[in-house]
A = this chain, B = another copy of it.
């Protein structure tokens, strides 16, 4: 336990970690159900995919479980959970909330990146986490990246997130949407990575139960909204031109993740699990 925190911090960590695992199980089940359901399309010739899980240990403390599915609806989708703890190096302490004088930390979370096979099905990303240093807070979000223009999907996704946010605080959606837009922006191309969503960090309102409930809702909202978007599009026929456009668009995803994404760069620099970190990269990409 870290000095200065209320006595039940360990219980909070446990509840958060349990939730991330439950959400992981739930999402994997829903994604596998979509794999089963996609029988009446170009995808019918391939067998439905199943997640393969692979635990990993972090030498410095903790570890996680990767879940990877190479399916017919989801050409590649990773759903990872992790609970890690340790001590931030001097180099990182100043840039991390509450770690300036005491480098000990605990971090639990879930992260997901889905690269569907069908170019008409948007790529999606979701991540939520609970972090404890001398302070403790929630962070995360979800965002959608259509490979071909898809206003309808973007609107449905944002509407679902707005409803989710508004149920907790009417200030959340506008603030977290803007945060997402400014974060997922490719500086060198001066273009957004996708259609956005929400992104939040340092969420510590003083009411832990409320913050935790919001984080749970973000996960559920993402799951339900994205599964519906996938289900509505996965059987739509596509051709080589759409596939090509998709593979080129995926290049932007790679550029963002390797050039800018703080989580990716932080993980690679601090000796994180390479396989888990780079699971976000698309299965096939083109820079023609």
Interface residues in chain A, defined as those with a beta carbon under 8 Å from any beta carbon in chain B: 70, 76, 187-189, 247, 251, 254-255, 258-259, 265, 268-269, 274, 278, 281-288
Contact = CB atoms under 8 A, between A and B. Distances in A.
Dominant SS at the A interface? mixed
Given A189-B274, A255-B258, 19 more contacts: A70-B288, A76-B287, A76-B288, A187-B268, A188-B269, A188-B274, A251-B281, A254-B254, A254-B258, A255-B278, A258-B258, A259-B259, A259-B265, A278-B287, A283-B286, A283-B287, A283-B288, A284-B285, A285-B285
Ranked 9 nearest A-B pairs via Cβ: A258-B258, A281-B287, A188-B268, A285-B285, A284-B286, A258-B259, A283-B288, A188-B274, A283-B286
Nearest to A265: B259
A251 B269 CA distance: 19
Contacts of A265: 259
Copy tally for this chain in the complex stands at 2
A284 B281 contact: no
A187 B268 CA distance: 9
Most B CB within 10 A of own CB, among A187, A255, A269: A255
A91 to B, nearest CB: 15
A286 B285 contact: yes
Nearest to A188: B268
Contacts of A278: 255, 287
A285 B253 CA distance: 13
Most B CB within 10 A of own CB, among A70, A188, A258, A282: A188
Contacts of A286: 283-285
A288 B69 CA distance: 11
Contacts of A281: 251, 287
Contacts of A258: 254-255, 258-259
Contacts of A254: 254, 258, 285
Contacts of A187: 268
Contacts of A274: 188-189
A187 B274 CA distance: 11
A96 to B, nearest CB: 20
Nearest to A187: B268
A171 B188 CA distance: 40
A11 to B, nearest CB: 35
